[in-house]
Structure 1
Amino acid sequence: MKHKDLIKQMTLEEKASLMSGKDFWQTMDIERLGVKSMFLADGPHGIRKQAAAADHLGLNPSIPATCFPTAAAVANSWDVLLGEVMGYYLGREAVAQKVNVLLGPGINMKRNPLAGRNFEYLSEDPYLTGKLAAGMIRGIQANGISACVKHFAVNNQEERRMAIDTIVDERTLREVYLTAFEIAIKEGHTQTVMSSYNMLNGTYANENMHLMRDILRDEWNFDGVVVTDWGGSNDRVAGLLAGNELEMPTTADETNEEIIQAVKAGKIKEDVLDECVDRLLELSFTTGEVLKEPHQEIDIASHHEMAQRVSEESIVLLKNEGNILPLKKGVKVAVIGDFAKEARYQGAGSSNVNPTILSNTLESLEESGIVSIGYEQGFDRYGKKNKKKVDQACAIAKQANVVLLYIGLDEVTEAEGLDRQSMEIPENQVELLHALYEVNPNIVAVLSCGSVVEMPWIDKVKGLLHGYLSGQAGAKAILRILAGDVNPSGKLAETYPIRYEDTPSYYHFPGKEVSVEYREGPYIGYRYFDTANVNVLFPFGYGLSYTTFEYSNLQVNKNDVTFDLKNTGSMAGMEVAQLYVGCQSSDIFRPAKELKGFTKTNLQPGETKNITIPFDDKAFRYFNIKTNKWEIEEANYDILIAASSTDIRLRGTTFVEGTGAPLPYDKAALPSYYTGKVNDVSLTEFESLLGYKAPVAIWDRTKPLGYNDTIAQCQYAKGLFAKFSFHAISFAHWFLRKIGKRSTANLIMMSIYHMPFRGIARMTGGIINMPMLDGILMIVNGHFFKGLRHVLKERRKMLKVRKDKKLARVTEGM
């Protein structure tokens, strides 16, 4: 231990106090020993440090900070160095705001297109995710503070996220859902990890010894701090034993007392607690050094420019029929769409940033050189149909050479705590597009959303530029690409299916009651589509340029591949070359190919560069469930150099010696997995993959409700008061949506409907404690008066204890 002498001076109570927050965002301090509080702030794409009342849902405004593009956009850059530089800028702002730990990046896999937080995550591919995250972490931590990679692990839905049990086989867990964390931790050297809300195979993530001890600590040698997601602690003692040091937010000493009693009873050895204290102290002291220096203001303008640069590299050109883009000089455009006036540039929830500057499309048009004949709103942002707005938009479209149509998803459709209901964009926007097409077919659509959408209307547009959620400078970045000042170089970090029904997890997303079964195994995203030969709208890794690139002269060596890349067009541009590897053996099921390397190269017209992409330790490995470790199958491997997962430019093969491990599967028992056609795997076959019986996925409606049951389950409660409360909440949600108060309706679903009962205690900062919660559960389960008496009695007891403690502290200080 690094701080053994300091820890020896601490009382048991002081050690326990460090294990949970002082308030919503700060850790506990110990003044007499010089241990200072740390400040933790949300910040995957900008600092969200709240100046006034704190919350975890993005309701109250934060101190202004640069709003960079969200992770879903940054991933489209495929540029590790760019992510590192962006991380450095984020870290500088964190230091300026006296933040010790920046809560990001978020790196959960995009298992399903409807997952509500996809805008905040990087990719469907663990290799791309891990490499980009490692870069961002290095950049953030170069400033002397800590990044916090999240949410560990397998947190891939928002509905019931605090209680859902994720059922996934070990190989899929390792290869798909943990590889990004492995890369981020080993290559990014993150000092902090955030555990996720959900259960993993029957145990809460932050209590899961296999996840937290066997893998994170022992296998990956992580020696930093693990912090719970806010309100994510279930059993505090079990979490601490698993190595989850810090619980946030404060529980007003309630769980600290649980730790103290566990140590006294011998449930936790004090040595284990000391190890946790040591890691927290190391984080506090190392991140605290830079914060001792005089406060430095950031250069707002230069940070805004950096946000624009990231946005320019992250925007993806998806369609360019007849080279309608870049816009020719002097072309008259009609600008239509509500998102042109008020940009959709970030998601909603805990990552919501208060931008320092906000670029505006209409205000930036003249500077861009694009000739606009006017603007019309065209549609209501939140989906209400309005024929007058459509008619006004069509009238101006008739007079233009080209229509610039800004469409997408609104702020309340993509939000933390809620999964999307469909992959469609609002019907009123589609109806506007069809109407515009009838009067002017020269339409360039600019799409603003943080996740995948269906595009049955794509034949009605000649150009399609996807800005994703491009941050505070995104509006100007988009105009620069439209005008040809910047050559688009973004490529999709996720696959766009033709229909939602085509996705492999269609039948098993989200988990609605007890559990969610990952029956598709390792076949998510392009791993499924390319293996099962399912047509897609846009493949993983796809993106157009205003120039063209030629690949040639592939050489496959023992440790790397080399090839030539030439810009064969007339404009300078950047190309993302992708390395995929596929195993020719069929003894072990696996995707047809997997991303194992990539590089982004800037080339002048006519310029050729020789590119090298190395094979690393992940190029040929697979996880063997019999040996319980990574192995290599001896076989010939396809080596594919590609412009996207379906656009293979160069092919080679190489023979790789294996590790001689036994074959892990009975091929006859897993026919779907050996063909890759896994969109509707039977329970029997899934259980063969798991190696055990899957738990029953629906609630037992006969049992009394407990700590980890949700408010939604009150519909089955024995208590009339609980049933009435459930129907009142459901009606309030319906009514608020009906009258257009969708943000407030969403809040009900996020913070009430899917909240487990224990969350009432964990998220109220000590206003309600667990003994009081016992009384609430008595009421819910049909014992109204007994429960009410219990709540009032425990509240009086809690207030007396706090009063006595406060008096004791005052007496000690005299």
Structure 2
Amino acid sequence: MREDMLDRMVEKLSLEQKVRLLTGSTTWRTAAEKAIGLRELVCSDGPAGVRGEAWDERRTSALLPSASALGAAWDEQLLSDLGGLLASEAVRKGVDVVLAPNLNLHRTPLGGRHFECFSEDPELTARSGAALIRGIQDHGVAATAKHFVANDSETERLHADVRVSERALREVYLAPFEAAVEAGVWLVMAGYNGVDGTTMTAHPLLSEPLKGEWGFDGVAVSDWAAVRTTEEPARAALDLAMPGPQGPWATGLVRAVQDGRVPPAAIDDKVRRLLRLAARVGAFEEHHRRRPGTRTARPLLRRAAVAGTVLVRNEGILPLDIGALSTVAVIGEHAASPRVQGGGSAGVFPSAVVTPLDGIRAQLRGRSRVVYAPGPTSNVPPPPLDTDRCSDPRSGEPGVLLRCLDVEGRELYAERRLSGRQLEPETVPGAHTVEISALLRPETTGTWTFGMGGFGRMTLTVDGRAVLDGTYPCETDDPALVHVTPPLHTARAHLERTRPVLLVARRDLASGTGRATLVAAAPPARDSAAALAEAVDAARGADAVIVFVGTTEHSETEGYDRTDLSLGRPQDDLVRAVAAANPRTVAVVNSGGPVELPWRSEVGALLLAWFPGQEAGAGLADILFGRSEPGGRLPTTWAASLADAPVTRTRPVDGRLDYAEGLHVGYRAWIRAAREPAYWFGHGLGYTTWTYEHVEAPARVEIGAPFTVRVGLRNTGKRPGREVVQVYMARPESSVERPARWLVGYAAVHADADRTVTAEVTVAPRALRHWSSAERAWRTESGPYQIMVGRSAGAMEWKADIIAGGSAVVGAGGSHQE
């Protein structure tokens, strides 16, 4: 739509109509305006998948691998393809705006939301995020770059004030957002946190550099409920306050404009941007709604699971030769119940999940015997009620019965649901209590653990006997905790295997207690010694062992940072015991971010699978049995122990979180501290070997111009393979502080056995520049740099000097050569 048409639309609207457009009409929708033929725009969480407007387990979505797994792929075409899948899902669900990608960084290994972020490095994050954005928006669906900016930890995330130098902000944390704008992103989401004393929804950074220097012409939207005042965000460059219909703008913005506290021109600019977005997604008049695209999800998701899995150790064990296997032992709870996504608001309900145990059995069916031993029970809260062991007490069908009751206990609403995790219906007039009931069929006699999550007055009965009864006050204003993942309160009761019991959970729907209700149950824990002995026996009698370990829904989730990196002694002991019983042991780690692996040198092979999405088991089986090569390279450095990690602070002090490490994040901090991690950023093995035969790089480059590094490689193994060639730079004699080494580009190549191939890595001019806070401009030093080619940040294959000619200053108004 032409800009003059947008201007005419803005002129048609009254102040009240304009302001109404700038606040959501519901939790997930913007307002419509009949006067200009504008329908509502529909938003949905990402990036794991497109959930849609409803938290309903019956409305399933394609579930992608976690962003950390996608970052591990180092594959922009794959990210673009997955962006297309997200767009197809959005169209199918009537969604216009996907709230993805998350461009925050793995600043410390303890970040609770690492699974939702690509990497620790600004270059890799920038390229991955830009590729996903292009893939989404190529299909007429809007992407959203979030959370602008320095929103890299979860502790006190709503109010933490990040203190970071202007240079680190520009070179590290803003860099992925600048790349998103260059890729044409249509929305940028301002985070909850503050930076240097100002909350992000009212921060000058929304104006400069975002809209001014970078030329962002889209919509700056708040994170949900991040707008807490009227005037400051309105005078700043924030455009859309979500959700609605209530909020500071809805109640006070008209008066603020009328009183002269907010300029009318600021309102007009916000409205114009919103209308521009509406035109881009086809939101003018009903007939512009898109039709669902056709895209086959499962093969792509299977390929993505393979592409992001990182092989970090292989003592000749992988790939497993199916022809030489009569018995395979599969061990660990995560084999049968894997974590396929992280916790929090980004979660979706997949239509089906291929577990690793399913995938292994499918590939070995008719060829080898599979023996499964779960090992000791993990010490985690019980999972939500589900259809496997529960039925609706009214209909007898699998699932639970959800009812809303009035103050007298009369039924107002009822339906069968498939899960004990519920965000009850929003609009049931007169509802006072939500009730979830189920007939539980115990498969084991013993002491069962029950749980109930939510806030306010809650009761849980087992066959009429109260096991939980209390009032649990809401002491947080974090939307993810209040409305999605409230804390779980547990109790125990003895059950008999042959006797079903009726569970009834009730929660009063008082104001301020959120919408989430969770009812959970778990059978008695297995005897640890017996379960470990069973696993060891299975391992000892097998030709190969595949042991799965990982994190839990409660250790990696939105709203919480981790306090340690341990998988816990039971899981560590399990790996050690089965590896001692059988040297042909493959360990698979199912986590969204780094964990400690004290047994890593004791196993024959080690795969890092992240949260692999709904095709987890199919992709892992392809890797284990050699149908596919593990494609991943580490997007973040893994410490041997938390004590070794050079940057660990996630907890603010007196509300302030100091990024004292400055530019030195991730592998940069490890190199600076002269410490050796377990595995370097960029590390990853395949099923073949490579020789770096020659490198061509210019001896001299012109400042402000890109240059190309060509690397000749030979596949010296016996099968086709993929290698990710990484190029780093350094400036040992710089006049300003710099990282000891920083990534400037990469390229993936494929070659058959005993074949050569050339990788071409283009290095952008920004790779040499640094931000001058004194001059408020980009500056590039002339003189010598080092250029390095390597397989990881800690393994260089080649290095040479390169001379940059002249020096340049680049600011908002352009550049000039000194």
TM tier relative to shorter chain = 0.7 to 0.9
1:309 correspondence with 2:300: no
CA deviation string 1:185-222 (max 9, x = no partner): 11x2100011010000000011111x111110111110
- Residue of structure 2 aligned with 1:132, choices 105, 112, 128: 128
CA deviation string 1:418-470 (max 9, x = no partner): 11121111221112223323432332101100001111121221111111111
Distance 1:62 1:493 in 2: 34
1:390 correspondence with 2:532: yes
1:590 correspondence with 2:590: no
Instruction: Give the secondary-structure state (helix, strand or coil) at the position aligned to 2:299.
Output: helix
- Residue of structure 2 aligned with 1:498, choices 618, 640, 644: 640
- Residue of structure 1 aligned with 2:562, choices 413, 420, 429: 420
CA deviation string 1:291-330 (max 9, x = no partner): 8467755657x21111111111111001111344334523
Structure 2 gap ranges (5+)? 381-524, 702-706, 811-818
How many Å apart are 1:259 and its aligned residue?
1.1
Asked whether the equivalents of residues 382 and 410 of structure 1 are also in contact (C-alpha less than 8 Å), the reply is no
1:48 correspondence with 2:51: yes
Counterpart of 1:264, as a letter, is Q
Counterpart of 1:395, as a letter, is D
- The residue correspondences of 1:389-788 to structure 2 (distance < 5 A) are 389-506=531-648, 508-557=649-698, 558=701, 559-659=707-807
The match for 1:70 is 66
Asked whether the equivalents of residues 204 and 234 of structure 1 are also in contact (C-alpha less than 8 Å), the reply is no
Instruction: Give the secondary-structure state (helix, strand or coil) at the position aligned to 2:201.
Output: helix
TM-score (norm 2): 0.77
Asked whether the equivalents of residues 504 and 523 of structure 1 are also in contact (C-alpha less than 8 Å), the reply is no
The match for 1:35 is 38
Distance 1:232 1:306, change over 3 A: same
Asked whether the equivalents of residues 65 and 341 of structure 2 are also in contact (C-alpha less than 8 Å), the reply is yes
Instruction: Give the secondary-structure state (helix, strand or coil) at the position aligned to 1:464.
Output: strand
Distance 2:563 2:53 in 1: 31
The match for 2:368 is 371
Identical columns (%): 31
Asked whether the equivalents of residues 375 and 531 of structure 2 are also in contact (C-alpha less than 8 Å), the reply is yes
How many Å apart are 1:253 and its aligned residue?
5.9
- The residue correspondences of 1:266-277 to structure 2 (distance < 5 A) are 266-277=260-271
How many Å apart are 1:532 and its aligned residue?
2.6
Instruction: Give the secondary-structure state (helix, strand or coil) at the position aligned to 1:171.
Output: helix
Distance 2:239 2:289 in 1: 30
The match for 1:804 is none
- The residue correspondences of 1:173-322 to structure 2 (distance < 5 A) are 173-186=169-182, 188-209=183-204, 211-252=205-246, 254-288=248-282, 292=287, 296=291, 302-322=296-316
Asked whether the equivalents of residues 282 and 290 of structure 2 are also in contact (C-alpha less than 8 Å), the reply is no
Distance 1:244 1:483 in 2: 51
Mean CA deviation greater in 433-442 or 600-609: 433-442
Distance 1:156 1:509 in 2: 8
How many Å apart are 1:273 and its aligned residue?
0.3
Structure 1 gap ranges (5+)? 55-59, 663-814
The match for 1:668 is none
Distance 1:554 1:102, change over 3 A: same
How many Å apart are 1:375 and its aligned residue?
0.4
Asked whether the equivalents of residues 110 and 118 of structure 1 are also in contact (C-alpha less than 8 Å), the reply is yes
Distance 1:196 1:253 in 2: 17
Asked whether the equivalents of residues 239 and 270 of structure 2 are also in contact (C-alpha less than 8 Å), the reply is yes
CA deviation string 1:715-761 (max 9, x = no partner): xxxxxxxxxxxxxxxxxxxxxxxxxxxxxxxxxxxxxxxxxxxxxxx
Asked whether the equivalents of residues 647 and 669 of structure 2 are also in contact (C-alpha less than 8 Å), the reply is no
Distance 2:223 2:323 in 1: 51
Instruction: Give the secondary-structure state (helix, strand or coil) at the position aligned to 1:619.
Output: helix
CA deviation string 1:346-372 (max 9, x = no partner): 111111111123112233324323734
Distance 1:330 1:142, change over 3 A: same
Distance 1:251 1:130 in 2: 34
Distance 1:133 1:448 in 2: 23
Distance 1:648 1:4 in 2: 55
Mean CA deviation greater in 118-127 or 508-517: 508-517
Mean CA deviation greater in 353-362 or 248-257: 248-257
Mean CA deviation greater in 329-338 or 445-454: 329-338
Instruction: Give the secondary-structure state (helix, strand or coil) at the position aligned to 1:565.
Output: strand
The match for 1:666 is none
1:351 correspondence with 2:346: yes
1:79 correspondence with 2:79: no
How many Å apart are 1:661 and its aligned residue?
7.1
Distance 1:535 1:522 in 2: 19
Distance 1:499 1:432 in 2: 19
Distance 1:472 1:299, change over 3 A: farther
Distance 1:575 1:289 in 2: 44
Higher strand share: 2
Counterpart of 2:679, as a letter, is F
Counterpart of 1:42, as a letter, is D
How many Å apart are 1:380 and its aligned residue?
1.8
Higher helix share: 1
Distance 1:10 1:503 in 2: 56
Counterpart of 1:25, as a letter, is W
How many Å apart are 1:488 and its aligned residue?
1.4
Distance 2:156 2:150 in 1: 14
CA deviation string 1:588-631 (max 9, x = no partner): 11111100000111111122122221221212111111111111
The match for 2:154 is 158
Asked whether the equivalents of residues 529 and 536 of structure 1 are also in contact (C-alpha less than 8 Å), the reply is yes
Instruction: Give the secondary-structure state (helix, strand or coil) at the position aligned to 1:260.
Output: helix
Asked whether the equivalents of residues 165 and 516 of structure 1 are also in contact (C-alpha less than 8 Å), the reply is yes
Instruction: Give the secondary-structure state (helix, strand or coil) at the position aligned to 1:157.
Output: coil
How many Å apart are 1:45 and its aligned residue?
2.4
Asked whether the equivalents of residues 335 and 374 of structure 1 are also in contact (C-alpha less than 8 Å), the reply is yes
Distance 1:62 1:349, change over 3 A: farther
Asked whether the equivalents of residues 210 and 216 of structure 2 are also in contact (C-alpha less than 8 Å), the reply is yes
Distance 2:48 2:575 in 1: 32
Distance 2:114 2:355 in 1: 25
Asked whether the equivalents of residues 650 and 657 of structure 2 are also in contact (C-alpha less than 8 Å), the reply is yes
Distance 2:69 2:664 in 1: 23
Distance 1:611 1:434, change over 3 A: closer
TM-score (norm 1): 0.78
Distance 2:682 2:376 in 1: 32
Asked whether the equivalents of residues 365 and 371 of structure 1 are also in contact (C-alpha less than 8 Å), the reply is no
Distance 2:102 2:718 in 1: 38
The match for 1:106 is 102
Distance 1:448 1:129 in 2: 22
- Residue of structure 1 aligned with 2:334, choices 321, 339, 352: 339
Distance 2:72 2:89 in 1: 24
Distance 1:420 1:10 in 2: 49
- Residue of structure 2 aligned with 1:4, choices 7, 17, 33: 7
CA deviation string 1:683-738 (max 9, x = no partner): xxxxxxxxxxxxxxxxxxxxxxxxxxxxxxxxxxxxxxxxxxxxxxxxxxxxxxxx
Distance 2:128 2:318 in 1: 32
Counterpart of 2:312, as a letter, is L
Asked whether the equivalents of residues 566 and 606 of structure 1 are also in contact (C-alpha less than 8 Å), the reply is yes
Distance 1:129 1:583, change over 3 A: same
Distance 1:545 1:476 in 2: 18
Distance 1:273 1:317, change over 3 A: same
How many Å apart are 1:5 and its aligned residue?
1.4
The match for 1:144 is 140
Counterpart of 1:375, as a letter, is Y
Mean CA deviation greater in 518-527 or 244-253: 244-253
Instruction: Give the secondary-structure state (helix, strand or coil) at the position aligned to 1:172.
Output: helix
Mean CA deviation greater in 247-256 or 489-498: 247-256
Instruction: Give the secondary-structure state (helix, strand or coil) at the position aligned to 2:798.
Output: strand
Asked whether the equivalents of residues 126 and 177 of structure 1 are also in contact (C-alpha less than 8 Å), the reply is yes
Distance 2:155 2:76 in 1: 32
Asked whether the equivalents of residues 108 and 150 of structure 1 are also in contact (C-alpha less than 8 Å), the reply is yes
